């Protein structure tokens, strides 16, 4: 078949497939058509929006724009109207919105508003140092989120939760509203004030605040990407999506005040990473946002239409052949490590350093170990399953990770960076390393001493510290799932995946003498969540981990039907040599 004939055949085949999918309803063109409509009509309406609409009242505009498209256009024009209003005028608009709720909801919302207002007044964390500007920002976010929800008639949305989540997320990183004495955010307060539904929304509306030094651009970029990657998942509350979209429109509202480089970064971010926030929402929301976004870009002389974010290059995974000897060696090695003392493990670490690293690299690794050892010693924490100091687990995890990176022959794993990150991997969650419990300071110090990549690996394997009461089981499970969900995305470094699996193997080998309920939780957790952590690693790695898990289940007599271990466990655990 000639090349041009073959090309024509392929195109015709694609057209037939598209037609069949359209007829069967598998393709929903509505979001795409609405987005295209926004881009096609903004140039015609922007002049009117810019010159006339800001001088009009919102109620007048709503009356002028009847019908479905009009309903979306007047919401898209709302930021232009709010821009010329003062904080007190926006507060009046907010009060009108609240008056539309039932009496009980009004009381709850106003109690939340009073709580937030007091926190703003007493805060010394305000970036602008101007209380009125902070109130203006909060009111913009609240009103915009409410109107976005109303534009789609709050389908599958709770308007009260949307409003309150927008209110709290506007101030949570600039006040002491939910702070504990250890620089953690106390999300259990949201449960006490408004119930678990709002607390679950709050987990996703705001990245847990980290004040990372501006010079660590890679670390900042990854942290932003990590937060918005969560929105690719279907189970994220739609209220959280609406809240972050409203906040982004507020950010775009101030883009004129930025430098050219900062403006480019904001537009690139909105073009690419931020788009995941629109997943699983109705196309109307995309239409409103695109209309406003295009009008913002068109107000500059420079053409920003094709600005794209420089996406990080993805490591190409090497083709790795099965190495049974290497896997067996890791299993035997990890079993032996768990039964060694801290002093013996330190000797093994020094031997590894002598055999594998240059003198300057040895010095950096030893410095990291001494810092981690002192930080864990200060907490006086011991392992749940034994009376050994916590640094024992850190050493076991580090040595397993080092062996895995070497024996599996991963060209994309830097053993020095992996080892240093492994030594630090539990410090942010559990210690006051560098004399503080503030994760921002801790990550900045790690980046200064050992480079951004090490800090990124540590961030990727760390559950950033927020406080949730033990009785709020559902919320705690949601937060744990949020952290593990991050591993389902390609951006997570392979070194971080190797480290996370090494940590899990160290935990699984250290179950001797533990309570039955603890072992059951460890086995269920490993089985349920680690498929996504093993994602983008070779199949040999996955086979190795799950073969170990199967052996452990067999040893304890795990019953897949009841999800419990056998009754004679206590006798077995006393002499367990797993």
Q: Do 76 and 139 belong together in one domain?
A: yes
Please tell me the predicted confidence (pLDDT) of residue 307: 45
Q: Give the position of tokens 């390609």.
A: 490
Please tell me the predicted confidence (pLDDT) of residue 109: 93
Q: How far apart are CA 532 and CA 525, in angstroms?
A: 12
Please tell me the pTM assigned to this model: 0.67
Please tell me the predicted confidence (pLDDT) of residue 435: 86
Q: Give the position of tokens 């002389």.
A: 301
Please tell me the predicted confidence (pLDDT) of residue 361: 86
Which residues, in sequence order, are bridge partners of residue 389?
382
Q: Do 131 and 51 belong together in one domain?
A: yes
Q: List C-alpha distances in Å: 382 to 234, 436, 450, 508.
A: 39, 20, 27, 16
Q: Give the position of tokens 């005040």.
A: 257
> Is residue 21 situated within a structural domain?
no
Whether 422 and 372 have beta carbons less than 8 Å apart is answered as no
Tokens of 498: 């190797």
User: For position 431, which CATH number holds?
Assistant: 1.10.3210
**Domains identified in the chain, total number:** 2
Which residue from 25, 60, 73 is spatially nearest to 289, judged by alpha carbons? 73
**Listed residues 447, 481, 503: the one ending a domain:** 503
Q: Do 331 and 466 belong together in one domain?
A: yes
Please tell me the predicted confidence (pLDDT) of residue 231: 79
> Is residue 19 situated within a structural domain?
no
> What backbone phi and psi angles, to 5 degrees, belong to 126?
-65, 125
Please tell me the predicted confidence (pLDDT) of residue 544: 73
Q: Do 252 and 213 belong together in one domain?
A: yes
Q: Do 189 and 119 belong together in one domain?
A: yes
**Residues contacting 74, CB < 8 A, separation 6+:** 58, 61, 62, 64, 65
Q: What is the CA radius of gyration of the chain?
A: 27
> What backbone phi and psi angles, to 5 degrees, belong to 128?
-90, -15
Q: Which domain holds residue 448?
A: 324-503
Mean pLDDT by 10 residues, the chain (578 residues): 46 63 60 57 50 50 53 76 86 92 92 90 79 90 90 79 91 76 67 86 75 75 72 82 90 82 80 77 79 74 46 36 58 80 89 82 91 88 76 91 69 76 90 85 89 89 74 71 72 85 85 76 76 74 76 75 58 41
Q: Do 150 and 209 belong together in one domain?
A: yes
Q: List C-alpha distances in Å: 576 to 387, 486, 517, 570.
A: 17, 34, 16, 10
Which residue from 457, 459, 417, 454 is spatially nearest to 439, judged by alpha carbons? 459
Please tell me the predicted confidence (pLDDT) of residue 265: 78
């Amino acid at each position: 078949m000639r090349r041009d004939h073959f090309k024509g055949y392929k195109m015709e085949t694609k057209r037939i497939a598209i037609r069949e999918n359209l007829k069967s309803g598998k393709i929903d063109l509505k979001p795409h058509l609405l987005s295209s409509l926004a881009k096609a009509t903004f140039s015609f309406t922007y002049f009117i929006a810019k010159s006339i609409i800001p001088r009009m009242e919102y109620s007048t505009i709503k009356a002028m724009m009847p019908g479905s498209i009009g309903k979306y256009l007047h919401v898209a024009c709302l930021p232009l109207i709010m821009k010329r209003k003062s904080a007190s005028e926006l507060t009046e608009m907010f009060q009108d919105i609240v008056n539309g709720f039932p009496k009980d909801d009004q009381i709850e919302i106003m109690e939340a508003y009073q709580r937030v207002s007091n926190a703003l007044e007493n805060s010394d964390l305000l970036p602008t140092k101007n209380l009125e500007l902070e109130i203006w920002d909060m009111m913009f976010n609240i009103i915009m989120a409410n109107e976005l929800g109303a534009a789609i008639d709050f389908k599958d949305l709770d308007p009260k939760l949307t409003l309150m989540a927008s209110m709290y997320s506007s101030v949570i990183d600039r006040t002491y509203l939910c702070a504990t004495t250890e620089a953690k955010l106390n999300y259990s307060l949201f449960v006490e004030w408004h119930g678990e539904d709002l607390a679950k929304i709050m987990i996703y509306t705001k990245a847990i605040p980290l004040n990372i030094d501006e010079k660590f651009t890679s670390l900042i970029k990854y942290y932003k990407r990590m937060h918005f990657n969560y929105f690719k998942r279907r189970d994220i509350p739609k209220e959280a999506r609406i809240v972050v979209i409203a906040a982004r429109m507020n950010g775009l509202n101030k883009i004129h005040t930025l430098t050219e480089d900062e403006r480019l970064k904001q537009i690139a971010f909105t073009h690419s990473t931020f788009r995941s926030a629109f997943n699983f929402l109705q196309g109307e929301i995309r239409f409103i946002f695109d209309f406003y976004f295009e009008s913002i870009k068109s107000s500059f002389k420079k053409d920003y239409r094709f600005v794209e974010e420089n996406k990080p290059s993805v490591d190409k995974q090497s083709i790795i052949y099965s190495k049974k000897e290497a896997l067996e060696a890791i299993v035997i090695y990890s079993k032996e490590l768990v039964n060694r003392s801290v002093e013996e493990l330190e000797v093994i670490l020094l031997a590894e350093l002598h055999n594998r690293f240059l003198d300057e690299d040895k010095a950096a690794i030893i410095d990291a170990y001494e810092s981690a050892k002192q930080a864990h010693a200060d907490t006086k924490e011991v392992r749940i399953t034994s009376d050994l100091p916590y640094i024992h687990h850190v050493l076991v995890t580090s040595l397993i990770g080092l062996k895995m990176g070497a024996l599996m022959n991963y060209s994309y794993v830097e053993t020095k960076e992996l080892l240093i990150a492994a030594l630090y991997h539990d410090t942010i969650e559990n210690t006051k390393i560098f004399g503080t419990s503030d994760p921002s300071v801790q990550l900045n110090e790690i980046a200064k001493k050992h480079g951004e990549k090490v800090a990124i690996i540590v961030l990727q394997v760390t559950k950033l510290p927020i406080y949730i009461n033990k009785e709020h089981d559902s919320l705690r499970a949601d937060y744990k799932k949020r952290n593990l969900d991050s591993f389902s995305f390609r951006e997570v470094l392979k070194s971080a995946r190797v480290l996370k699996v090494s940590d899990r193997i160290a935990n699984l080998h250290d179950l001797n003498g533990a309570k039955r309920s603890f072992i059951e939780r460890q086995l269920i957790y490993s089985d349920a969540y680690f498929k996504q952590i093993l994602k983008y690693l070779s199949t040999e790695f996955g086979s190795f981990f799950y073969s170990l898990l199967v052996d452990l289940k067999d040893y304890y007599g795990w019953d897949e039907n009841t999800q419990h271990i056998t009754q004679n466990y206590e006798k077995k655990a006393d002499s367990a040599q797993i």
